[in-house]
Amino acid sequence: MTSLPTHTEKKLGLVIDLDICVGCHACVTACKGWNDQGYGAPLSDQKPYGDEPEGTFLNRVHSFEITPENGPAQIVHFPKSCLHCDDAPCVTVCPTGASYKRSEDGIVLVNEDACIGCGLCAWACPYGAREMDQAAGIMKKCTLCVDRIYNENLPEADREPACVRTCPTGARAFGDLADPTSAVSKSVADRGGFDLMPELGTKPVNQYLFPRIKDFEGDLDVLSPLLDIQPEATGISGWLDKLLGKL
């Protein structure tokens, strides 16, 4: 059903620490790798070796530059995948019931057997979290690796989303955001986790943590003293300069 559950027992989701992410795109690759071989239609590529390669990805990393009023600009790498919103607009617009939010853990999924590929859910999502697979004609989105996190055939350590498991810097954390004692909830409380586009009222489950503000000592260019080239050399340098000039 495309009506949203009034309450979900758990709110499984991700906490992404923008202070730690180095923009290596390992999560993008791990996501694509895992979702090519298990759950649902594989994520296809179009002309992967051609002049305009394109493909379906469930997780992408943007890089932004922030320029404060005073001080140096800083770069923030910004991974973005489905935020598994509590008030997910992508779910209610679906005409077939293919798009749904699970009441047990809050994961938003697509039942590919019922999807007609109309694309309306992708229009309704403000975050660009849904992409229509061009080969399958079916809407794809982050499943929070639902086929890993409950998979008892995998070692315990692997029972988390592929993007989290692979992140070399630990910028991504997975957990239950409805449980205030969970590690993810604590980090959100400590660091002031925030929603993306809160003005749209989607109530995302995934939270982002702020990057640290860059230190600023007043002089933007630490190399500038070294660049202070004197027009006329003096002392021994000057003597050498003259000598060499005469040779």
Partner 1 sequence: MNPAPSVILFTVLSGAGFGLLGFLGLGVISPTGLIAFSYFTLAFAMAVGGLLASTLHLGNPRNALKAFSQWQTSWLSREAWLAVLTLAVMGLYAIGAIFFGKHLSVLGILGADLSFLTVFATSMIYAQLKTVPRWNQWLTPLLFLSFSLSAATMLTAQNGLAVAPLAVTGVLLILHWLSGDKRFSASGSTIETATGLGGIGKVRLLAPPHTGSNYLMKEMIYVVGRKHALRLRWITLALAVVLPALILLLAPASVLTTALAFILHLIGAFAARWLFFAEAEHVVGLYYGKR
Residues near partner 1 (CB under 8 A)? 1-3, 18, 28, 52-57, 60-69, 73-76, 78, 80, 89, 92-98, 113-120, 122-128, 131-134, 136-139, 194-201, 208, 210-211, 213
Contact, 82 vs 142, CB < 8 A?
Answer: yes
Query: Shortest approach of partner 1 to residue 93 CB, angstroms?
Result: 6
Q: Which is nearer to partner 1, 95 or 180 (CB)?
A: 95
Of 146 and 196, which CB lies nearer to partner 1 in the complex structure? 196
State the nearest-atom distance from the C-beta of 69 to partner 1, in Å: 7
CB 241, min distance to partner 1, A: 43
Contact of 159 with 151, CB cutoff 8 Å: yes
User: CB atoms < 10 A from the CB of 44, how many?
Assistant: 15
> How far is residue 1 CA from its own chain's centroid?
28
Which residues, in sequence order, are CB contacts of 104 under 8 Å at separation 6+? 8, 9, 10
CA-wise closest residue to 80 among 35, 20, 23, 138: 23
Minimum distance from CB of 115 to partner 1 (Å)?
6
Residue among 81, 83, 235 at smallest CA distance from 162: 81
Q: Amino acid letter at 244? A: L
How far is Cα 133 from Cα 124, in angstroms, rounded to an integer?
Answer: 17
Tell me the chain's radius of gyration from C-alpha atoms: 25
**Least CB distance to partner 1 at residue 208 (A):** 6
Nearer to partner 1 (CB atom), residue 10 or residue 208 = 208
Least spacing, CB of residue 60 vs partner 1, in Å: 4
Helix, coil or strand: residue 35? coil
Element (DSSP H or E) covering residue 28: helix 26-34
In angstroms, give the least distance from the CB of 177 to partner 1: 16
Residue whose CB is less far from partner 1, 5 or 179: 5
Q: Which is nearer to partner 1, 199 or 232 (CB)?
A: 199
Of the two residues 10 and 206, which places its CB atom closer to partner 1 in the complex? 206
Closer to partner 1 at the Cβ: 25 or 186?
Answer: 25
Q: Round to whole Å and give the CA distance between 184 and 136.
A: 35
